[in-house]
């Protein structure tokens, strides 16, 4: 388990943030907020894809009015995104939102900020101080010469000071930058200065695959250092992709319990008897439709496959026109090659329903023996297909003789 920095605890609706709570996933709707049905449909889609919290823009009176209908019907807590007009923050609070996001770069009047903070405090609603390199306060931009990590952190601390002045403490902070190294450095610097929960994100990351790569690079780096309490992938794409990617990242890092598929596959080699890429693609599509929260391995050959992927919940390896199904490295069934994917999905369903021990107990008695015999045949036919012995000999020669 990754040791995490201790931060204060707060609640966004019924979702705990900070204080050792699980890292939560956030995304944001792209609909017109005033369109209640369309916005709610997207909120439900985001929740289904793994979002714990959803942010919705509140950019005019009609949007604030719509929030009054959306919030009580939402399956997850709603945060109102506020820019420029502090009165819309007050309106969003009246609409019942579970959190506010204020941008210090465009709501700059101290008295207005404190008015919102007092009202939020009375209602028990947290505020995220959302600093963004692309909308940094112009005075700070002039002072620092660029949207540097120091500038972003200073902006956040000034805003936090305004909130603290009126006794407000349910604060989250983000210091987002589109440049990954600058984003990482900004959060590291901020983490040294405050113990408030931090919301991580690479702003304006762009469309996949580049946006995904940048987001993972920045967010995962910080999470592995124990920094971060909520995350968002800011992609130029369907926001459902944001939620799904965020959830997957937390699962891969062991920060959230797996709810979705984790498919691993070998890169193929000289022993492979099937098109690993094609089988893996078919298996992934079929298993994702099932929504099974397991790790599945697709391996090119039975010689090494079950052993190499023994940590996977379930897997399949090819050999001599057959598919060898294995659970935790133990071969349990042998099927024809054209039935590999279908059999894998069937066994995966049974595994989730019955458990590992039950499925191991139900293994075909001869499956392991057939797999071992097939492995021996392949080695005899193919020989050292990966030239491992030859390579080992060359490495030993270099190591011993220089």
Domain boundary among 225, 252, 279: 252
Cα separation, 52 vs 21, in Å, equals 12
Do 202 and 267 have their domain in common? no
Do 374 and 349 have their domain in common? yes
Do 233 and 295 have their domain in common? no
The side-by-side arrangement of strands in the sheet containing 322-327 is: 262-265, 295-299, 314-319, 322-327, 330-336
5 belongs to a structural domain: no
Residue 47 above 70 pLDDT?
yes
Give the domain range for residue 340.
262-382
DSSP assignment string, 226-237: T--SEE---BSS
CATH of the domain at 330: 3.30.413.10
Residue 191 above 80 pLDDT?
yes
CATH of the domain at 185: 3.20.20.20
Do 136 and 196 have their domain in common? yes
- Provide the number of structural domains found in the chain: 2
Burial per residue of 180-190, b for 16 or more beta-carbon CB atoms within 10 angstroms, e otherwise: bebbbbbbebb
pLDDT tens string 346-401: 999 999 999 999 999 999 988 888 888 887 887 777 666 556 677 678 777 877 87
257 belongs to a structural domain: no
242 belongs to a structural domain: yes
Which candidate, 330, 293, 325, 324, places its Cα nearest to that of 310? 330
Cα separation, 206 vs 252, in Å, equals 22
DSSP assignment string, 330-371: EEEEEEEGGGHHHHHHHHHHHHHHH-HHHHHHT--TTHHHHH
- Residue 196's pLDDT band (boundaries 50, 70, 90)? very high
Mean pLDDT of 31-39: 94
Domain boundary among 227, 252, 277: 252
Residue 273 above 70 pLDDT?
no
Do 285 and 361 have their domain in common? yes
Q: Average per-residue pLDDT in the chain?
A: 92
394 belongs to a structural domain: no
pTM value > 0.85: no
pLDDT tens string 107-154: 999 999 999 999 999 999 999 999 999 999 899 999 999 999 999 999
Do 171 and 41 have their domain in common? yes
pLDDT tens string 277-327: 888 899 999 998 998 888 998 988 887 778 878 888 999 988 778 888 999
Cα separation, 372 vs 346, in Å, equals 23
**CA 286, chain centre distance (Å):** 22
Do 129 and 57 have their domain in common? yes
Residue 19 above 80 pLDDT?
yes
Are 328 and 360 spatial neighbours (Cβ–Cβ below 8 Å)? yes
Which candidate, 187, 196, 211, 64, places its Cα nearest to that of 131? 187
Do 269 and 247 have their domain in common? no
pLDDT of residue 402: 58
- Residue 271's pLDDT band (boundaries 50, 70, 90)? low
Mean pLDDT of 64-77: 95
Do 209 and 317 have their domain in common? no
158 belongs to a structural domain: yes
């Amino acid at each position: 388990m990754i040791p995490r920095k201790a931060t204060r605890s707060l609640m966004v609706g019924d979702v705990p943030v900070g204080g050792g709570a699980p890292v939560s996933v956030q995304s944001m709707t792209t609909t017109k907020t005033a369109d209640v049905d369309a916005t709610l449909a997207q909120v439900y889609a985001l929740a289904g894809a793994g979002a714990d919290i959803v942010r919705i823009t509140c950019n005019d009176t009609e949007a604030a009015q719509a929030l009054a209908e959306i919030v009580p019907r939402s399956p997850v807590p709603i945060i109102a995104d506020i820019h420029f007009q502090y009165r819309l923050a007050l309106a969003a609070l009246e609409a019942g939102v579970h959190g506010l996001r204020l941008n210090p770069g465009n709501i700059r009047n101290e008295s207005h900020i404190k008015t919102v903070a007092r009202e939020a405090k009375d209602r028990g609603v947290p505020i995220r101080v959302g600093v963004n390199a692309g909308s940094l306060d112009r005075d700070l931009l002039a002072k620092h010469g660029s949207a540097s990590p120091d500038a972003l952190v200073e902006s956040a601390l000034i805003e936090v000071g305004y909130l603290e002045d009126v006794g407000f403490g349910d604060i989250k902070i983000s210091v987002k930058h589109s440049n990954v190294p600058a984003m990482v450095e900004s959060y590291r610097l901020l983490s040294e200065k405050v113990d408030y929960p931090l919301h991580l994100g690479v702003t304006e990351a762009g469309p996949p695959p580049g946006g995904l790569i940048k987001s993972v690079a920045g967010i995962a780096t910080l999470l592995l250092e124990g920094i971060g309490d909520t995350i968002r992938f800011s992609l130029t794409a369907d926001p459902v992709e944001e939620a799904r990617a965020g959830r997957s990242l937390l699962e891969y890092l062991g920060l959230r319990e797996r709810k979705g598929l984790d498919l691993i596959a070998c890169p193929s080699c000289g022993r492979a008897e099937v098109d690993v890429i094609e089988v893996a693609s078919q298996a992934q599509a079929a298993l994702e439709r099932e929504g099974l929260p397991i790790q599945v391995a697709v391996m090119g050959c039975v010689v090494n496959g079950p052993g190499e992927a023994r940590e996977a919940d379930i897997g399949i390896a090819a050999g001599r026109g057959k598919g060898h199904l294995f659970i935790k490295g133990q071969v349990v069934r042998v099927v024809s090659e054209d039935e590999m994917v279908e059999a894998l999905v069937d066994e995966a369903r049974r595994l989730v329903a019955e458990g590992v021990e039950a499925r191991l107990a139900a293994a075909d008695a001869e499956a392991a023996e057939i797999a071992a015999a097939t492995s021996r045949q392949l080695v005899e036919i193919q020989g050292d297909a990966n030239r491992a012995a030859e390579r080992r000999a060359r490495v030993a020669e270099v190591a011993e003789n220089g």
